[in-house]
Structure 1
Amino acid sequence: MIHDITIPMNATIAVWPGDTEYSFTTTAWGEVTVGAVTMSCHTGTHADAPCHFLPGGIGIAEIPPEIYIGECMVVEAIGTEEIGPETFQGSSLPPRVLVKTLAWTDHTRFPAEVPVLTEAAVAFLAAQGVRLIGMDVPSVDRIRSKDLPIHHALAAAGIHILESLDLRQITPGRYQLIALPLRLDGADGSPVRAVLA
């Protein structure tokens, strides 16, 4: 069974305050309709590239696609402001971990605040060989953060980032993940179509 964990893209989707609003327009060329999309690379379900927050970091097209494909685990961290190592303890972790917080379920309203990983959690994930962390909120850092410490800690640990997953209907456990970004040269992120099997 395939579970689509992608937030639908449409005119109601909330974006970061001040960021590019999502729009989709069509033009008729005779018998053919051609669509055009305007959006930020960080709208809806997306992957961050290190160059989004790290001067000299690589772009999204340079990240190996295998980072976003393969065994993953969904864990719950509901009702907490900080997500520490205890969230991930108790079983061996695969290279990809997704965190279900249910802190952002109305995708038409941008959240004022979100739960975040602690630096101790990042260190624990790195020690377990995790290469990708996914969250069901728009950022792994505090919404108002300027220095983005968790983004930087994850990058230093070699852990890539997925944000704004829709995990509302997903039971914690092990799955196969496919969440491929577009191959956008020089881009600081990309929308993904994320699914679990």
Structure 2
Amino acid sequence: MSSSNVPPHPSARLWDISPTVAPEAPVFPGDEPYSLRWTAQLSPGYPVNLSAITMSPHVGAHADAPLHYANDAPAIDEVPLDTYLGRCRVIHAIGAAPLITVAHLQHAGQDLPPRVLVRCCERADTAWNPTFTAYAPEAIEWLAVRGVKLIGIDTPSVDPADSKALSSHQQLKRLDLRVLENLVLDDVPEGDYELIALPLKLQGACASPVRAVLREIQ
């Protein structure tokens, strides 16, 4: 029986691996930052507070849709959800730069589950850092050959900030993998967990924010 079919133990620990979405959250230069405005507020004539938000779907922890890096590819509301839920391995590659390579992953590559998140930051960046670590395309292929269907990273992208070819995103397309970016893995020990990181059903969108959590397997 897979872990996703086993009821969680009531004392199973949760790790929140999502950064706070706020106006100061780092975004790619030119991308739409998060902003919030109040459209109605509690008053004698109004019974509730109401707000409206504006943001790129790539702010904070998020799932890219294939549409993000390929025309005529599925938008985020068309992507099956099962990949974003289930057994996951966190692999530490702290200090890996500028790319996560196969060599950074091999120590934890035995019997990989379908989901792998790589921690390469000692502490996740809270301001824009143009030299963040990304994935080498060869590392993505190495994971896919071992049955991995979703990869994640604690930086803004699987490709370097200055990449125009987006070789790692194109590798995701070729191998039909899903991806989570901008995670916070600062306090997560290396090992296996249950991942819960469902994207919103945003019609036609190239990505979606996720509230990504890891749950202890007991």
- Match 2:205 to one of 164, 177, 187: 187
What pairs up with 1:1-197 in 2 under 5 angstroms? 1-28=13-40, 30-81=46-97, 82-89=99-106, 90-102=109-121, 105-107=124-126, 109-197=127-215
Q: Are the structure 2 counterparts of residues 57 and 122 from structure 1 closer, same or farther at C-alpha, using a change threshold of 3 Å?
A: same
Equivalent residue letter for 1:56: D
Partners of 2:151 and 2:80 lie apart in 1 by 15
Percent of residue pairs bearing the same amino acid type: 43
Equivalent residue letter for 1:124: W
Is this contact kept in 1: 2:134–2:155, CA < 8 A? no
Partners of 2:122 and 2:205 lie apart in 1 by 28
Q: Are the structure 2 counterparts of residues 51 and 16 from structure 1 closer, same or farther at C-alpha, using a change threshold of 3 Å?
A: same
Partners of 1:168 and 1:56 lie apart in 2 by 36
Look at both structures and tell me which one has the larger radius of gyration over its CA atoms. Answer: 2
Partners of 2:135 and 2:29 lie apart in 1 by 22
Question: Please, what is the CA RMSD of the aligned residues?
Answer: 1.3
Partners of 2:56 and 2:73 lie apart in 1 by 19
Post-superposition CA distance 1:117-167 (Å, at most 9, x none): 222212211111111000000000010111200000122111111000000
Is this contact kept in 1: 2:93–2:119, CA < 8 A? yes
TM-score, structure 1 length as denominator?
Answer: 0.95
Q: How many residues align?
A: 196
TM-score, structure 2 length as denominator?
Answer: 0.86
Q: Are the structure 2 counterparts of residues 100 and 8 from structure 1 closer, same or farther at C-alpha, using a change threshold of 3 Å?
A: same
Q: Are the structure 2 counterparts of residues 103 and 40 from structure 1 closer, same or farther at C-alpha, using a change threshold of 3 Å?
A: farther
Is this contact kept in 1: 2:84–2:196, CA < 8 A? yes
Post-superposition CA distance 1:84-127 (Å, at most 9, x none): 223332411100000001166231x1111122222221221111
Partners of 2:31 and 2:193 lie apart in 1 by 33
Is this contact kept in 2: 1:24–1:38, CA < 8 A? yes
Partners of 1:60 and 1:98 lie apart in 2 by 20
Moved more, 174-183 or 49-58: 49-58
Q: 5+ residue gaps in structure 1? A: none
Q: Are the structure 2 counterparts of residues 121 and 103 from structure 1 closer, same or farther at C-alpha, using a change threshold of 3 Å?
A: same
